[in-house]
A and B are shown apart, each in its own frame.
Chain A
Amino acid sequence: MRTSLTFAGVSKSFPSPRGRMVVLDGLSLEVDAGGWTSLVGPSGCGKTTLAKIAAGILTADAGQVLVGGMGVERSRTVAYMPQHDTLLPWRSALENAILSADVDGRSRAQARSEARQLFVRFGLGGFEEQRPSTLSGGMRQRVALIRTFLTRRDILVLDEPFGALDALTRAGLQQWLSKIWMELGHTVLFITHDVEEAVLLSDRVAVCSSLPGRIRTEVQVMLPRPRSRVSAEVTAYRASLLETLAAGAIS
């Protein structure tokens, strides 16, 4: 389960009242196999558009998205987690988690037993049969993450998964996700506007400019895990990335 994800000169524009709005303009980015790459940038810099292109939801106007040498549209190697948990209200938590088994035609019984193990491991034991509406925001997000893991795809594209959570829940989930990821070793493309979150979780942070989106700089975060948000190194990375972002916002 080690596959890289490559964006080569990806462009995308959308129709708008004042002609076409260019959202991505020849963006290139390499997400290393088994590594965690975060994409940070100001709101509306085309991060979500890039995530959707990676997930095969949108197609690029120009450029290529390659997954182990294949086009992403039919690769079935990318799992996508949208900004909101997007749990289906009529399915139990467990049923939500095994959605991909229904789509891929895998055995439900087996998917259920796999999901049960992950529920226990993700601290959701006992909540399997609850409806999403009865779960807290953090729990719903964990169910959505289990759903993403259970797609059995090598590459995870996570689009601001913690964006809607309060600071405490968010910090807890960051630590927890980092731990799970170290065990499972997926290739991760993580979209966020939170620089600190990016530094805490990533091997590499790519900063994108505001529209049209391009990669401004890439920074390798060479710090051992688990990382602490108050350590001097994390603070230093954070400060330098914020500076880059601020410089981009002014120009």
Chain B
Amino acid sequence: MNELRRWLTPMVLLLLVLAAVETYLRLAAVPSYIFPQPSAVFSELFRSFPGLAGHALTTVVETVAGLAIGVCAGVVLALLIVVSRTVERALYPLIIATQMVPVFAIAPLLVVWFGYGIWSKAATAALLVFFPVTVGMVDGLRSPTEDQRDLLRSLQASRRQTLRLLELPASVPALFSGLKVGVTLGVVGATIGEWIGAQRGLGFVMVQANALLRLERVFAAIVLLTAVGLLLFGLVRIIEKKVLARRG
């Protein structure tokens, strides 16, 4: 019931906005190649659903692959940073620098290096994903209190044991926070990769439809992309809830 109400409110708002847009577009007779009516977008969505769903699946695969790579890289980097001050001083500025360069500037290079298939998109996604994961994970690994660290010191725990028994388990909530930001960025990264050069995926659909002035198809792809993002985000949240409930 609560779940229903949580979904109901934004849905009602969305429908109201769509209805207003539809009414305006019809009354002002705006042509569909400038701004398609929501009804046209949805009829396109239903008509081309099998084809679009295939493209969406490609985007999902790329996002998930990018997420996996980004999370692994983020966790490894965070561990290196926490374990060694020298590594931290050396890596941190570089890690921040990777986020200063626009993805649009790097994505064409990634296509050159990793080809037109899913891997250039996974790489673009990973490039965006690893950053929040690294930052979140570093915070998480540093979250144990001085009391908790003292306790392990009094047991003469080694560096590795402190990591395994204290810092890693303490970082799980932060990892999920990083993961939730990462999921949304992963979808963005995969789509940008598809814009630059692809034969499949929702980003590819958008570029093609845009060139043909079929804006209702562009919007249909955006709707699906949003759905994909929400789905992945929801999935991470469900896993997070399960894991955090188990560890109390």
Which residues from chain A sit less than 8 Å from chain B, CB to CB? 52, 55-57, 74, 76, 78-80, 82-84, 86, 88-92, 99-100, 102-104, 131-134, 151
Contacts and interface: CB of A to CB of B under 8 A. Distances in A.
B148 A86 contact: yes
B141 to A, nearest CB: 14
Main secondary structure of the interface of B (DSSP, over half): helix
Interface string B168-181: 01101000000000
B86 interface: no
B27 to A, nearest CB: 58
A56 B247 contact: no
Contacts of B166: 88
25 contacts: A52-B150, A55-B153, A56-B154, A56-B156, A57-B154, A76-B156, A78-B154, A79-B154, A80-B151, A82-B147, A82-B151, A83-B147, A86-B147, A86-B148, A86-B150, A88-B148, A88-B166, A88-B169, A90-B172, A90-B247, A90-B248, A92-B248, A103-B155, A131-B247, A151-B155
B247 A89 contact: yes
B21 to A, nearest CB: 48
Contacts, number: 60
Contacts of A99: 151, 155, 165
A100 B155 contact: yes
Nearest to A55: B154
B156 A103 contact: yes
B226 interface: no
B152 interface: yes
Interface in B165-217: 165-166, 169-170, 172
Nearest to B247: A90
Nearest to B150: A57
Given A56-B156, A131-B248, A86 B165 contact: no
